[in-house]
Amino acid sequence: MNIKTTNLKIEGMHCAGCIEDVSGELRKISGIIDVSIDSWKKGNAKLTVEDGVSRADIEKAIKKAGYRVSRQISEFGKEFDFAEQFDLIITGGGSAAFSAAIKASELGKKILMINDGLPIGGTCVNVGCVPSKTLIRTAEAFHNSNHPNFFGIKHGKNRINFKEIINQKRELVSDLRQKKYVDVISDDPNITVLKGHAKLTGKNMIEVNGETRTADTILIAAGSSTFIPDIHGLKDSGYYINDTLYELEELPKHLIIIGGRYIALENAQLFARLGSRVTVLQRSVRILPTEMPDISEDLSNYLREEGVDIKTGVKIHSVLKQDDKIVLKISVKDNDEIIEGTHLFIATGRKGNTKNLGLEKLGIETHGNGFIKTDEYQRTAVPNIYAAGDVTGEHLFVYTAAYAGALSVKNAFTENKSEKDYAVLPWVIFTDPQVAGVGMDENQADAAGIDYDVSFLPIENIPRALAARNTKGFIKLIRNRKTDKLIGARILASEGSELLMEISFAIKYGITTEEIKKMFHPYLTLSEGVKLAAIGFSKDVNKLSCCAV
């Protein structure tokens, strides 16, 4: 016969004698081996029982003694025992948390997920990937309808209804939140979701809604939020961040964006295409400063052609809200300027959501903007406390957050431990043309001391792009000259992200450019560009006939 422990919280006791009453009733049940109740005030009961003892019998006995089992309602309306014991407590309810919870449930673990701030699903579905990408698609469709690439299609005079655009975005967000988050776990008996701010109060303890919960393993998956720079007047200016921008009721007349990386640029183009005047203020000397200059320069030119005003080398001295205007005093490469707009969007990087999480007392170390340091197994400085996703400051994408959440669980609960591995990490910036990358660029190959060469293929060499009359950008393949194996790629192309996975496979599995050249690539597809770029290492592709190698 198996013996197990059941935890309960008993309500209604008012004196020490009540403990005797309820213990007496419980002990009458055959199969109950031990009953221990901490105090009549707290009512925390720990029962040692044989496997066959039913939950209903326990509750009946407590009721017979005149008391009741305390229950709580979870976020999805499920009742659960107040003192239920969990194997894993997760702080946060975004992608890292969901992937971790699902993995832990598959392993038969009991999970408590605690989420607050953003609705369930966290950043990606509510205020990040999903709203931004559907609005980017909307803006692209509108832009293309009024700027056709073909002489035979006359310039359209389509207009937008911004409110309907936002409503349609809301529908998608709510639909995906329901289908990809709520529905996925709401019937899972192993996963309980609570709404409330979680705070670590011990290495096994979390405080939420004034109560303490314990578990052997804790996962911090609290995500990140916009890092707000310290600029005079900014706090009172009514600025927007990604949490609020996609809920605007009216299209901004003049949107000023502080920042020059992916969130700034995706939104700059999206709002410009919808009809806003857009000014981008970037502190560095170029946008996307961590990329090679060819990407930054060409993308700047394409965005400028669409009317986005990009200022680089900008210092912002002050921000002032004046009636319905926002006035910024700035200097651009040491020349003072005043910029007036109607809306201000801050996209100056992210910070870990670690304020008031109780990390300091436990000695959990942070780095950069409040991000949690983790080791190769996703562990924090406290071995049973793991961290995953944006809160670690590592690769702030939804697919890496999900990967790290699942990895934490695997490492915490199985013998089969794995180190995190980001050696082949494809990524995309959803401007048009998109910027897509995987592996090393030239600077990184230099730093790694690799003997490499580069094949640079302008998109105008790809028949598919010629047919679409859209020849913006290039494909750049970087290979190890000695082994002929690819080590990286950078793509600037409309829908260029769709080329990334072939290259990623090649890098991961050590496929040579010679082997890529031998693969059939259908005519006319964009993926022919990868083959042409592979050929470009040894031949001038301008001298090739159609589909020749």
Ligand X SMILES: Cc1cc2nc3c(=O)[nH]c(=O)nc-3n(C[C@H](O)[C@H](O)[C@H](O)COP(=O)(O)OP(=O)(O)OC[C@H]3O[C@@H](n4cnc5c(N)ncnc54)[C@H](O)[C@@H]3O)c2cc1C
Where in the sequence numbering do the catalytic residues fall? 13, 15, 18, 67, 124, 129, 546-547
Applying CB under 6 A, does 94 fall inside the site for ligand X? Answer: yes
Burial class of 258 by CB neighbour count within 10 A (0 to 12, 13 to 18, 19+): buried
Q: Tell me whether strands 217-220 and 385-387 are parallel, antiparallel or unpaired.
A: parallel
> Shortest gap between Cβ of 37 and ligand X (angstroms)?
30
Applying CB under 6 A, does 396 fall inside the site for ligand X? Answer: yes
Residues 432-461 interacting with ligand X (rule: CB under 6 A): none
Q: Which is nearer to ligand X, 267 or 455 (CB)?
A: 267
| Rounded Cα–Cα distance for residues 549 and 544 (Å) | 7
Q: Which is nearer to ligand X, 186 or 525 (CB)?
A: 186
Applying CB under 6 A, does 93 fall inside the site for ligand X? Answer: yes
Applying CB under 6 A, does 263 fall inside the site for ligand X? Answer: yes
In this chain, which stretch among 89-97, 309-317, 472-480, 482-490 interacts with ligand X, using CB under 6 A?
89-97
> Shortest gap between Cβ of 83 and ligand X (angstroms)?
21
Q: Supply the angle between the helices 16-27 and 55-64 in degrees, to the nearest 10.
A: 140
Which residue in 275, 341, 389, 529 binds ligand X (CB under 6 A)? 389
**477 Cβ contact partners less than 8 Å away, ≥ 6 residues apart:** 454, 455, 457, 486, 488, 489, 503, 513, 530, 533, 534, 536, 537
Applying CB under 6 A, does 411 fall inside the site for ligand X? Answer: no
| Interaction mask 130-169, ligand X, x per CB under 6 A | --xx------------------------------------
- Max CA distance (Å), the chain: 96
Number of amino acids touching ligand X (CB under 6 A)? 37
Q: Which is nearer to ligand X, 6 or 178 (CB)?
A: 178
**148 Cβ contact partners less than 8 Å away, ≥ 6 residues apart:** 154, 155, 156
> Shortest gap between Cβ of 530 and ligand X (angstroms)?
22
Q: Tell me whether strands 427-429 and 309-311 are parallel, antiparallel or unpaired.
A: unpaired
Residues 222-241 interacting with ligand X (rule: CB under 6 A): 222-223
| Rounded Cα–Cα distance for residues 205 and 126 (Å) | 29
Which residue in 21, 81, 116, 309 binds ligand X (CB under 6 A)? 116
CA angle 181, 186, 191 (to 5 degrees): 100
Applying CB under 6 A, does 516 fall inside the site for ligand X? Answer: no
Give me the DSSP letters along 473-521. -EEEEEEETTT-BEEEEEEEETTGGGGHHHHHHHHHTT-BHHHHHHS--
Applying CB under 6 A, does 496 fall inside the site for ligand X? Answer: no
Applying CB under 6 A, does 473 fall inside the site for ligand X? Answer: no
- In 376-513, beta strands by DSSP E: 385-387, 427-429, 434-439, 452-458, 474-480, 486-493
Q: Which is nearer to ligand X, 32 or 200 (CB)?
A: 200
Residues forming contacts to ligand X in the complex (CB under 6 A) are 91-97, 114-118, 122-124, 128-129, 132-133, 197-198, 221-223, 242, 263, 353, 357, 389-391, 396-399, 401, 430
